[in-house]
């Protein structure tokens, strides 16, 4: 082995693809490498083809999502935190709708499957805390509830990002999450308060 790949080139291509996606320019093999000085072969050297590029884009998307979720503060009210995580999830999806669409496009596959799990883990951890402080029943399946919360977030994000529902439909997250958390043992009024508090920034 004598010549090594330059990770910076790889990162540059990913960043450029993300920017083109954001600017709604079609991301094609030739248009992607144009202006970077690299040739079309670079995409094959670093990603093995366009499919590999999309896979890397999904990874990038989950990375950004994880970063956003990590920024959500953990307060002494875990139910509030769960709602805040949901709000951050939806904010992320709407901030870069095309990247979000790529993340869940056909052929869902990740270079590192742990990235998607990490997203769920943030939810699981909050659920566990809610159980710990007595808001949720102890027999609540944390992983299951995390998946259910994800389903609500993704369902709304997908329907809004893809067009069927208007932006303000995102507000449906509040009653839906409140209903779900109440069903886990939280007291209805307090639950509603926590969810609304977590949903509205600050």
| Residue in 40, 151, 162, 200 binding DNA, rule: CB under 7 A | 40
Burial of 134 (0-12, 13-18, 19+ CB in 10 A): exposed
Q: Residue 3 binds which one of a second copy, DNA, none, with CB within 5 to 8 A depending on kind?
A: DNA
Question: Is residue 74 within the footprint of a second copy (CB under 8 A)?
Answer: no
b/e per residue 160-187 (b: at least 16 CB within 10 A): bbeeebeeeebeebbebbbebbbebbbe
Question: Is residue 176 within the footprint of a second copy (CB under 8 A)?
Answer: yes
| Residue in 7, 35, 37, 166 binding DNA, rule: CB under 7 A | 37
Between CA 42 and CA 29 the distance in angstroms is 10
Question: Is residue 25 within the footprint of DNA (CB under 7 A)?
Answer: no
Q: Residue 42 binds which one of a second copy, DNA, none, with CB within 5 to 8 A depending on kind?
A: DNA
Cβ 17 vs Cβ 47: under 8 Å: no
Between CA 41 and CA 175 the distance in angstroms is 50
Question: Is residue 45 within the footprint of a second copy (CB under 8 A)?
Answer: no
CB nearer to DNA: give 3 or 167.
Answer: 3
Q: Is the C-alpha dihedral spanning 183, 189, 195, 196 positive or negative?
A: positive
CB nearer to DNA: give 6 or 117.
Answer: 6
| Residue in 5, 137, 175, 200 binding a second copy, rule: CB under 8 A | 175
CB nearer to DNA: give 55 or 129.
Answer: 55
| Residue in 73, 164, 167, 168 binding a second copy, rule: CB under 8 A | 164
């Amino acid at each position: 082995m004598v010549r090594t790949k330059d990770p910076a080139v790889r990162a540059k291509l990913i960043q450029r693809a993300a920017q083109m996606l954001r600017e709604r320019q079609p991301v094609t093999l030739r248009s992607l490498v144009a202006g970077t000085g690299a040739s079309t072969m670079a995409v094959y050297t670093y990603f093995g083809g366009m499919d590999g590029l999309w896979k890397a884009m999904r990874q990038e998307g989950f990375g950004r999502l994880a970063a956003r979720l990590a920024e959500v503060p953990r307060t002494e009210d875990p139910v509030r935190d769960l709602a805040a995580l949901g709000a951050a999830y939806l904010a992320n999806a709407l901030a870069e709708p095309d990247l979000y669409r790529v993340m869940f496009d056909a052929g869902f596959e990740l270079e590192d499957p742990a990235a998607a799990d990490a997203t769920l883990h943030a939810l699981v951890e909050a659920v566990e805390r809610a159980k710990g402080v007595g808001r949720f029943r102890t027999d609540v399946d944390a992983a299951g509830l995390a998946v259910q919360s994800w389903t609500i977030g993704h369902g709304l994000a997908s329907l809004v990002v893809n067009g069927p529902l208007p932006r303000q439909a995102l507000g449906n997250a509040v009653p839906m999450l409140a209903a779900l958390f109440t069903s886990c043992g939280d007291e209805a009024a307090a639950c509603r308060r926590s969810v609304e508090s977590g949903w509205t920034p600050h």
